[in-house]
């Protein structure tokens, strides 16, 4: 006997841990659509101008305030949006933690109102995940038919004229990657079992992401690479920009996780960002001391994670204020990925840089205790 009441996860969406972009920023998207009088490509919810402003934020002419989703070069986002208005797919490439997934999600939400048409690339993926699969109960009872076919997110995007998303493209085996060539060049997806094909509707396009620094990367064939317009996602160019990104995202995630800790101090964020930038760059901020870089990427996303972890420690096992000892465990874990090589690099950095800095003694002691 079925229960009349729906499960809590169906009834109360306000408790969703991470709402989809189109749900979390529905008010902003609606406000932008209302004032957007620029030309829109077919099946786009917003014009390219409005999509760029949605990502970069600002105050519109009617006073509507749009929260920035991406902090960085405006031209880079303009190129990405302009690419999606053509017949070429978009490839966002960069080291892990440079907001590739974040940008792709918000681009899909702004353009199609749907960021859920997502395929996660893996090393064990087969081409059926990109094309379509079968409901075997239906297949056995009725044979190959449209009812038995289970469309992939990519096929659904083609049918509906929406943006599809493909994460970790270079993790996918090369022979499976090449399944995309026909889809991106001819805009069709053959279904030989039904002697038919799916033709992409206007508005369809693909956003793929890839890491350029990872193990197990499968390079794209030249034929597939030509189907993409590549945009390289850089790390923040300045210290101030990176601190601003970390602070903004930490506050947002902290609210989502309902952390009772107070807002992370800019001082602790600045210290963490300084450590990450120096170890990434192989030298101190003043350029006087050369440093060895660890194997970890030490991205902005990693810094956000370290601060959030420190906030949780401060909230549940401290006085609610983020301090050096709350930061030490997270930063040590972020830097020391290789227990041998990275540990030596981290110890050397602590002794030659952190120990010598004024007002960093507390962080030096806390980090030494973690080793």
Amino acid 265: pLDDT: 79
Amino acid 10: pLDDT: 46
Nearest to 164 by CA among 112, 202, 124: 112
Q: What is the mean pLDDT of residues 199-211?
A: 96
All structural domains of the chain with their residue ranges: 13-232, 239-370
- Residue 327's pLDDT band (cuts 50, 70, 90): very high
| Sheet containing strand 89-94, strands side by side | 118-120, 163-167, 205-211, 89-94, 228-232
Residue 202 CB coordination number (10 Å): 10
Amino acid 14: pLDDT: 58
Q: What is the mean pLDDT of residues 169-195?
A: 94
- Residue 260's pLDDT band (cuts 50, 70, 90): low
pLDDT of 2 strictly over 50: no
Amino acid 278: pLDDT: 96
Identify the DSSP state of 354. Answer: I
Q: What is the mean pLDDT of residues 334-343?
A: 93
Amino acid 3: pLDDT: 45
Whole-structure pTM value: 0.90
Topology of domain 13-232 in CATH is Rossmann fold (3.40.50)
Amino acid 16: pLDDT: 80
Amino acid 244: pLDDT: 92
The more confident residue out of 318 and 208 is 208
pLDDT of 11 strictly over 60: no
């Amino acid at each position: 006997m079925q229960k009349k009441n729906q499960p809590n996860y169906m009834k109360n969406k306000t408790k969703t841990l991470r709402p989809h972009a189109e749900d979390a920023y529905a008010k902003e998207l609606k406000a932008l659509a209302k004032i957007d009088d620029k030309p829109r490509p077919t099946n786009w919810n917003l014009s390219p101008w409005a999509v760029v402003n949605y990502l970069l934020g600002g105050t519109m002419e009617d006073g509507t305030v749009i929260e920035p989703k991406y902090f960085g070069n405006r031209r880079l986002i303009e190129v990405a949006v302009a690419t999606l208005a053509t017949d070429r797919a978009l490839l966002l490439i960069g080291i892990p933690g440079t907001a590739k997934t974040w940008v792709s999600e918000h681009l899909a939400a702004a353009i199609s109102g749907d960021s859920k048409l997502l395929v996660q690339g893996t090393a064990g993926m087969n081409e059926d995940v990109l094309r379509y699969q079968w409901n075997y109960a239906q297949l056995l009872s009725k044979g190959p038919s449209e009812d038995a076919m289970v469309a992939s997110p990519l096929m659904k995007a083609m049918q509906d004229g929406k943006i599809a998303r493909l994460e970790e493209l270079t993790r996918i085996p090369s022979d499976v990657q090449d399944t995309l060539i026909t889809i991106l060049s001819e805009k069709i997806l053959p279904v030989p079992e039904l002697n038919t094909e799916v033709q992409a509707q206007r508005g369809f396009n693909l956003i793929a992401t890839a890491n350029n620094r990872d193990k197990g990367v499968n390079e794209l064939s030249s034929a597939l690479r030509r189907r993409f317009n590549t945009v390289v996602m850089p790390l923040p160019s300045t210290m101030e920009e990176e601190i601003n990104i970390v602070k903004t995202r930490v506050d947002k995630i902290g609210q989502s996780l309902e952390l009772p800790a107070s807002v992370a101090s800019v001082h602790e964020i600045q210290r963490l960002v300084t450590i990450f930038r120096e170890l990434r760059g192989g030298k101190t901020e003043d350029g006087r001391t050369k440093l060895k870089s660890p194997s970890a990427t030490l991205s902005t996303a990693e810094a956000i994670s370290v601060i959030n972890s420190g906030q949780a420690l401060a909230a549940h096992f401290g006085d609610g204020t983020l301090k050096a000892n709350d930061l030490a465990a997270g930063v040590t874990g972020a830097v020391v990925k290789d227990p041998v090589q990275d540990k030596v690099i981290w110890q050397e950095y602590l002794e030659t840089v952190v120990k010598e800095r004024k007002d960093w003694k507390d962080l030096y002691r806390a980090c030494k205790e973690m080793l």
